[in-house]
Chains A and B, each alone.
Chain A
Amino acid sequence: MRTFGNLVVRGLLVGLFAGLLAGAFAYVTGEPHIDAAIAIEEAGGAAHTHGDSHDTSTEAAPADEEEPLVSRSGQRAGLFLATALYGVALGGIFAVGFTLLRRRLRTTNDSYAALGLAAAGFVGIVLVPFLKYPPNPPAVGDPETITKRTVSYLLTLVIGLLAIWAGVAASRWAARFGEAPWIRLGVGGAALLATVVAAYLVLPAINEVPGSFPATLLWQFRFASLGTQAVLWTLIGFGYAALVDRRVPSKSESEVVAA
């Protein structure tokens, strides 16, 4: 038996590690596309201004910006800070989720439980939002709609988790009609997809990419972003699975009932 604190600290450490490596992946695959997008913006190719200083004035001309708060090289270093802190937060939340949900998962193997939860987290928190609102590089997007875009994004995230829950609930319900895996997987998958599709139809469409923005660059950036999050979740899943694994159940396990 591990204590709550022990379980969470493991999650924080795994998250830090995963976040730093995701940062390295993002640096290699994503930074060139961010630089390219900023170059297009500075050349005046983009329809929307996205000043480095995030000036609230929409009139700010790209040509005569004031000194940016953080230089480009500072932002490249800040990338690692961002992914590391985000990884710590996700890793800790993942560990809490693991602790609360572990006994409801129908596997006796803690490693499989961690991997399954990470897969569910990736689908619900990354894939479902990504498919509805694929991320954009800097220099794309209207500052005026940031609140609407943020709320819509968070809604897709919540709906992604709800869809996972619906899928699991449906697959357990379907299990009473037969032992065959295809029944449970089919019904669970259908419930998950139906939830996601219904939500996609209701949520507002957001398309702010200027027609002049190169589609190849846009999708290269998006895949770099998806890859970064895939690295983050994969490492959280496998890292936590490795740390929580107890191949040899200790004798004290049955003794320490009141923890």
Chain B
Amino acid sequence: MPAPARSVAVPAVSPRLLATALLTVGLLLTLAYLVAFDQGAVSRSGMFLHELMHDGRHLLGVPCH
């Protein structure tokens, strides 16, 4: 049951769009991971980024130490 095309602001989902979308989500999930879950393993900054964003991590409801 396709929604009426009028007033719909998005392009149709093509394989190419889907691939771009998955790549985008992958990159953004990596960013979210760095903020919320990284223990220094990916950021290669030791625990610096983890410590810097520690309050945010706790207040965003993510499990921490």
Contacts and interface: CB of A to CB of B under 8 A. Distances in A.
Interface stretch (A97-105, A185-193, A194-202, A211-219): A97-105
Interface residues of B, number: 46
B33 to A, nearest CB: 9
A8 interface: yes
A68 to B, nearest CB: 7
A167 interface: no
Contacts of A89: 28-29, 31-32, 35
B35 A129 contact: no
Nearest to A85: B35
Interface string B7-27: 111111100011011001100
A107 B3 CA distance: 7
Interface in A83-129: 83, 85-86, 88-90, 92-93, 96, 98-100, 102-110, 126, 129
Contacts of A221: 58
A86 B56 CA distance: 9
A53 B52 CA distance: 11
Interface residues of A, number: 73
Contacts of A54: 39, 47, 50-51, 65
B59 A53 contact: no
A249 interface: yes
Contact of B4 (A7, A108, A143): A108
A152 B62 CA distance: 11
Nearest to B33: A89
Contacts of A40: none
A93 B25 contact: yes
A137 interface: yes
A7 B1 CA distance: 24
A2 B12 CA distance: 10
Interface of A: 1-4, 7-8, 23, 26, 30-31, 34, 50, 52-54, 68-70, 74-76, 78-83, 85-86, 88-90, 92-93, 96, 98-100, 102-110, 126, 129-130, 133, 135-138, 141, 143, 146, 149-150, 152-153, 221, 224-226, 228-229, 244, 246, 249, 253, 259
29 contacts: A4-B20, A7-B9, A8-B24, A31-B55, A68-B51, A69-B52, A70-B48, A70-B52, A81-B52, A82-B57, A83-B59, A89-B32, A92-B24, A102-B10, A106-B1, A108-B8, A135-B62, A137-B58, A138-B58, A138-B65, A146-B63, A150-B62, A150-B63, A225-B58, A226-B61, A228-B60, A246-B7, A246-B9, A249-B6
Interface of B: 1-4, 6-13, 17-18, 20-21, 24-25, 28-29, 31-32, 34-37, 39, 46-48, 50-65
The 4 closest A-B CB pairs, nearest first, are: A82-B56, A82-B53, A78-B52, A89-B32
